[in-house]
Each structure stands twice: as C-alpha cells, then as structure tokens.
Amino acid sequence: GAGVSQSPSNKVTEKGKDVELRCDPISGHTALYWYRQSLGQGLEFLIYFQGNSAPDKSGLPSDRFSAERTGGSVSTLTIQRTQQEDSAVYLCASSAAGNSYEQYFGPGTRLTVT
C-alpha cells in the first residue's frame, strides 16, 4: 500500500517568507509526527498528533512554527518568517494507534532558506 508522502520534496525560499509543508500519512494511521533533521544531525521532534486529542507541541522551536491536521489525516507544517537556521530536512511519520514504536517515515522535504 501507499506509504507516507510529503510535498514538496524540495523547497527554496527567501528569508522572511512563509512556507507550508504537507504530509499525507498512511491511511488509517491515527498518529502523526513531525521531525526535522539538520545536516549531519539526528532527528529533532517537533510536534505529534494523535486522533482528536490536543497535539503535543513541545518540540516546536519557536512561535513561528505551527502545524495542523485536518480531518485526522493530512497535516501541514507552517513556518512563518523563515530564517536561515530553519534550513533542514523536515520529516513526517505516522503510526497506528498504540504502535508509536513503529513509525513510518516519509521521504522528507528539504527546505533551504536563502
């Protein structure tokens, strides 16, 4: 079946502009996660959605970052007034309910802020 998909695969934007990154999780997966990975680094947790519960936003680095999940499926990560330090690969993952240990990752969106 279809895996996690993300779009766009690459995004180049100018400093100060807003960007939206999209994630389509695996159908039926109730949990959705956003991470980011800077060059040569491990993954940094950003935000977690589980069903209709309030999201865990504890990993968002600043108030310029926000995310929403519509209809319990597709999620959008928005970065406002982008900065050069926001340049990274943004990864989305999903998992079935109760199986957070087995997360399925998308290919990521490479964001470059110039």
Partner 1 sequence: DAKTTQPNSMESNEEEPVHLPCNHSTISGTDYIHWYRQLPSQGPEYVIHGLTSNVNNRMASLAIAEDRKSSTLILHRATLRDAAVYYCILGGTGANNLFFGTGTRLTVIP
Closest distance to partner 1 from the beta carbon of 103 (Å): 7
Rounded to whole angstroms, the Cα distance separating 26 from 23 reads: 10
Give the shortest CB-45-to-partner 1 separation in angstroms. Answer: 4
User: Can you list the pairs that 41-45 forms with residues at least 24 positions away whose Cβ atoms lie under 8 Å?
Assistant: 43/91
Q: Which is nearer to partner 1, 35 or 65 (CB)?
A: 35
Give the footprint of partner 1 on this chain (CB under 8 A).
Answer: 4, 33, 35, 41-43, 45, 48, 50, 56, 58-59, 91, 93, 98-108
Alpha-helical runs (H) found in the chain: none
